[in-house]
Chains A and B, each alone.
Chain A
């Protein structure tokens, strides 16, 4: 994420010492934001093409301590690097927001504990055999290794959560879908393939429809472009109730044909 037209970014610190620093930083900020926007939207497009849906961005923060003003930053070599980190993080935040990705900020030293709270009830164990929360084993390398090992034994929740061959006990991470893991055993291979295929597609169509429900702010739910149409809310309610009630009286035993 470097603008080759903008080698000024490199001399920013030198220039900053010469008083015009403030305006040059603003210039660099615009350039970096532009580049970050391009990179993040490329990344989202690539992932989308591979069949993933990007739902958010996570930014790892340093200590999270507020920075002093520019003059004070420039007096300290260490603070210059800290400020640089903040500078690029902010570019990534702006780019993510530009791509409509909600941004989650986590301080680096809190990330493992937060991840644990989100994903698991059983903590992984470090190399030395002590619990993850033991301060003596609080080495990043050990923690990383044990987390990697732990995750390898599990499946990340994928958007398609239907997989009836997998017993629920093998996954440490709860699956996001509500489709029961055990579909009825069917003997006809065609019917079975059809059912399994439909369930996968149905999960995709569910996620995509719910993305529409999320896309419009609540206060606009009554909106309709033309008066004779259903409102946004009514469209969604209509399709939902139709899915639930397709042919409410349709059992052949209940109603004669024709």
Chain B
């Protein structure tokens, strides 16, 4: 989300303690929301954002959808980790819309 040059991303955290990880998660989720809230609409609709030399150009929306799916991909893996530890994973609940 730093692509939009709106505000600096939270400083990278490498500490693997629970509280540090949780704080970094909170900061980065909030960061994504704050970027989308503050950005201009033309940046959401532009289609020329280049991730790296291996990918095709992305739209602004593409970046947010990538983040959403990437989050679900890694969080989904943790279901197995929790099960291996005998812990029931958190229940997924959709918030009602509107």
A interface with B by C-beta (< 8 Å): 48, 50-53, 100, 159-160, 162, 164, 177-180, 182-184, 186-188, 191-192, 194-195, 197-206, 208-218, 220-225, 229, 231-252, 255-257
- Residue-wise interface mask of B (41-53) relative to A, using a CB-CB cutoff of 8 A (1 in contact, 0 not): 1001110111110
Residues of chain B lying within 8 A (CB to CB) of residue A217: 18
B75 touches A209 (CB 8 A): yes
Distance between Cα atoms of A247 and B64 in the complex (Å):
11
Residues of chain A lying within 8 A (CB to CB) of residue B77: 229, 235
Once A and B bind, how many residue pairs between them come within 8 Å at the CB atom? Answer: 237
Distance between Cα atoms of A257 and B5 in the complex (Å):
18
**Residues of chain B at interface, number, CB under 8 A:** 73
By beta carbon, the residue of chain A nearest B74 is A239
B25 touches A244 (CB 8 A): no
A244 touches B31 (CB 8 A): yes
* Closest CB in chain A relative to B72 CB, distance in Å: 7
Residues of chain B lying within 8 A (CB to CB) of residue A240: 13, 21, 24-25, 27-29
Q: Which residues of chain B from 21 to 74 have a CB within 8 Å of any chain A CB? A: 21-22, 24-34, 36-41, 44-46, 48-52, 57-58, 61, 63-64, 66-68, 70-74
Instruction: Say which residue of A204, A237, A246, A247 sits within 8 Å of B13 (CB atoms).
Output: A237
A178 touches B33 (CB 8 A): yes
Instruction: Say which residue of A159, A180, A211, A237 sits within 8 Å of B14 (CB atoms).
Output: A237
